[in-house]
């Protein structure tokens, strides 16, 4: 089972996403994303596979999952056949948010917590932590950032966590794959609009073109052009959210040279046209 890259949209002007999910079954496929996350199980139980570690989870438990570590949640439905609605609260935040604070002595303990996370942590939950996480759904800007930092500081300063283990004591082939993909994805997220060739991508990962193309197809199911297009569409979405540029201008700003091709790929990836995507933002 290959993990899939999940694209997290934190929204305009934010590095943090907070959202509650209620589902008939908790059945999140094996996936990874660069963002760190806190996952609080409000209702439901099952198994958590994270890196090379498998753990049970139950109602009222909280986990910290480091960025780029593959993981999945699956409930007891597959074992018992009984579907019990699950509810989870997820706080996801970009790696760069904490990286910007790493030089501050006040952040040293939290930085060590994140850097040494390995496969992640099970957090020893007090009643206050979930309440503070839920309040974050109603916050914006610095208030949301301060709330997140306060939660992390509480977890670390009161030592309210236990390690889920290292990723692996065997050769970390899979994790090396995730690190390579993270390096590529971080670069494409920043420079998707530039004239970025498959040769440059291969050189970035210190591979020849043929090996790189086989690697990318095997691990993502996409060719390089498809993978680059994926990131360019995400850039276009950000420009639609955050600027008043015309759709045609955004087409070129995102690295596309053909508007009709851009419109077609945008609708294929997002399910709506660029104009419809922008209109949907105005309704929210």
The reply to whether 271 and 235 lie within a common domain is yes
- Predicted confidence pLDDT, tens digits, the chain (284 residues): 567 778 888 777 789 999 998 876 666 677 888 899 999 999 888 878 776 566 778 889 999 999 888 888 877 654 555 656 688 999 999 888 888 888 889 999 999 999 888 888 989 887 789 999 999 999 989 999 999 999 999 999 988 788 876 654 443 345 567 667 778 877 887 788 888 889 999 999 889 999 999 988 887 788 999 989 988 998 898 899 888 999 999 999 999 999 999 999 999 888 889 999 888 766 44
The reply to whether 140 and 10 lie within a common domain is yes
The reply to whether 21 and 131 lie within a common domain is yes
The reply to whether 112 and 189 lie within a common domain is no
What total number of domains does the chain contain?
A: 2
- Show the 3-state SS of the chain: CCCEECCCCCCCCCCEEEEEEEECCCEEEEEECCCEEEEEEEECCEEEEECCEEEEECCCCEEEECCCCCEEEEECHHHHCCCCCEEEEEEEECHHHHHCCCCCHHHHHHHHHHHCCCCCEEECCCCHHHHHHHHHCCCCHHHHHHHHHHHHHHHHHCCCEEECCCCCCCCCHHHHHHHHHHHHHHHHHHHCCCCCCHHHHHHHCCCCHHHHHHHHHHHHCCCHHHHHHHHHHHHHHHHHHHCCCCHHHHHHHCCCCCHHHHHHHHHHHHCCCHHHHHHHHHHC
pLDDT score recorded for residue 31: 83
In terms of residue numbers, what domain contains 152?
Answer: 4-163
CATH of the domain at 219: 1.10.10.60
The reply to whether 186 and 157 lie within a common domain is no
CATH of the domain at 81: 2.60.120.810
The reply to whether 185 and 143 lie within a common domain is no
pLDDT score recorded for residue 147: 95
The reply to whether 145 and 9 lie within a common domain is yes
The reply to whether 231 and 113 lie within a common domain is no
139-184 pLDDT, tens per residue?
Answer: 989 999 999 999 999 999 988 788 876 654 443 345 567 667 778 8
The reply to whether 192 and 133 lie within a common domain is no
């Amino acid at each position: 089972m290959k993990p899939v890259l999940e694209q997290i949209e934190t929204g305009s002007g934010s590095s943090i996403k907070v959202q509650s999910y209620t589902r008939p079954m908790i059945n999140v496929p094996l996936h990874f994303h660069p963002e760190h996350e806190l996952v609080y199980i409000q209702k439901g139980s099952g198994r958590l596979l994270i890196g090379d570690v498998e753990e049970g989870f139950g109602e009222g438990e909280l986990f910290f999952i480091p960025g780029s570590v593959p993981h999945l949640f699956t409930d007891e439905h597959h074992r018992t056949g009984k579907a019990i609605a699950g509810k989870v609260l997820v706080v996801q935040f970009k790696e760069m948010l904490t990286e910007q604070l790493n030089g501050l002595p006040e952040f040293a303990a939290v930085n060590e917590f994140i850097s040494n996370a390995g496969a992640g942590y099970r957090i020893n939950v007090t009643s206050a932590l979930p309440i503070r996480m839920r309040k974050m759904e109603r916050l914006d800007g610095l208030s949301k950032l301060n709330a997140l930092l306060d939660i992390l500081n509480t977890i670390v300063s009161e030592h309210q966590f236990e390690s889920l283990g290292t990723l692996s004591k065997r050769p970390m082939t899979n994790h090396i794959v995730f690190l390579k993909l993270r390096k590529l994805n971080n670069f494409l997220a920043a420079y998707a609009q530039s004239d970025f060739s498959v040769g440059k991508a291969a050189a970035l990962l210190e591979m020849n073109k043929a090996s790189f193309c086989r690697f990318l197809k095997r691990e993502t199911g996409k060719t390089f052009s498809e993978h680059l297009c994926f990131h360019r569409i995400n850039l276009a979405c950000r420009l639609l959210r955050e600027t008043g540029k015309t759709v045609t201008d955004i087409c070129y700003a995102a690295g596309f040279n053909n508007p009709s091709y851009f419109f077609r790929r945008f609708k294929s990836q997002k399910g709506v046209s660029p104009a419809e995507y922008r209109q949907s933002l105005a309704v929210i």
